[in-house]
């Protein structure tokens, strides 16, 4: 009896392709204007990202347009913030306006991760794109205690810096320069920081959903 159930399960899995859901929205994503087909260029909207929120409005990730549209077409997500100037994707059967933010209909449990990965993008957001030494516009990342003197590449030892301060500080300690930090560098906390650590660009519309970290 158990063997029969096992066979049925295997047959069921084999009869449902892994990309079955993706096929539902695939036809929407290959319809480019004739001008793009003629020149073999990719429309600008293809490179756009859409913010994905959990059912609880917790920010999860930034999706490619293709994946976001598939979720909408398969009724797995709903638009939260429409983009009046955004693209509208057409197919023979329907049209889908690509929103800036979408929300899953069902809650997805996210594995707990204790520490946000340190990336240039996330660190710049943490320090609000301001130099930790003079307050000017930050352009680079500096190690408070230089690596050459035992400093770690960590949230606690990395800060945003303008190019002049970074060049002037070089491999010296703050005590040797008489400098002080404008704020103590600490690891950021919150679900939005995982997105900020990986996103190359942040749509201004997303800021209200990302909390203080993206402001």
Q: How far is CA 106 from CA 24, 53, 109, in A?
A: 19, 11, 10
* pLDDT tens digits, one per residue of 154-212: 999 999 999 999 999 999 999 999 999 999 999 988 777 777 776 666 777 877 887 65
Query: What is the model's pTM?
Result: 0.56
Domains, the chain, ordered by start: 14-104 (no CATH), 120-177 (1.10.30.50)
Q: How confident is the model at residue 2 (pLDDT cuts 50, 70, 90)?
A: very low
CA distance 103 to 91: 23
Q: What is the pLDDT of residue 33?
A: 44
Nearest to 108 by CA among 58, 142, 40: 58
- Tell me phi and psi for residue 58, to 5 degrees: -75, 130
Q: What is the pLDDT of residue 25?
A: 47
Strand 59-64 vs strand 95-97: parallel, antiparallel, or unpaired? unpaired
CA distance 156 to 87: 42
* pLDDT tens digits, one per residue of 40-91: 555 555 667 899 999 999 888 888 888 998 898 899 999 998 777 767 776 6
DSSP 3-state assignment of 166? helix
What is the separation of C-alpha 167 from the centre of its chain, rounded to a whole number of angstroms? 31
Q: What is the pLDDT of residue 38?
A: 47
Nearest to 144 by CA among 125, 123, 128: 123
């Amino acid at each position: 009896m158990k063997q029969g159930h096992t066979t049925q399960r295997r047959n069921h899995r084999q009869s449902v392709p892994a990309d079955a859901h993706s096929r539902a929205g695939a036809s929407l994503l290959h319809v480019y204007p004739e001008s793009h087909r003629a020149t073999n260029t990719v429309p600008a909207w293809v490179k756009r990202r859409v913010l994905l929120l959990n059912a609880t409005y917790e920010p999860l990730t930034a999706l490619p347009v293709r994946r976001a549209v598939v979720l909408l077409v398969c009724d797995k997500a709903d638009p939260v913030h429409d983009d009046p100037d955004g693209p509208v994707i057409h197919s023979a059967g329907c049209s889908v306006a690509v929103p800036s933010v979408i929300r899953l209909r069902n809650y997805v449990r996210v594995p707990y991760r204790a520490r946000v990965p340190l990336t240039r993008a996330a660190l710049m957001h943490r320090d609000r794109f301001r130099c930790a030494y003079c307050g000017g516009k930050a352009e680079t990342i500096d190690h408070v205690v230089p690596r050459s003197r035992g400093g770690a590449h960590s949230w606690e030892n990395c800060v945003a810096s303008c190019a002049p301060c970074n060049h002037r500080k070089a491999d010296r300690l703050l005590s040797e320069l008489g400098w002080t930090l404008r704020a103590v560098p600490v690891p950021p906390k919150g679900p939005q920081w995982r997105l900020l650590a990986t996103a190359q660009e942040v749509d201004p519309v997303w800021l209200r959903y990302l909390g203080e970290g993206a402001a």
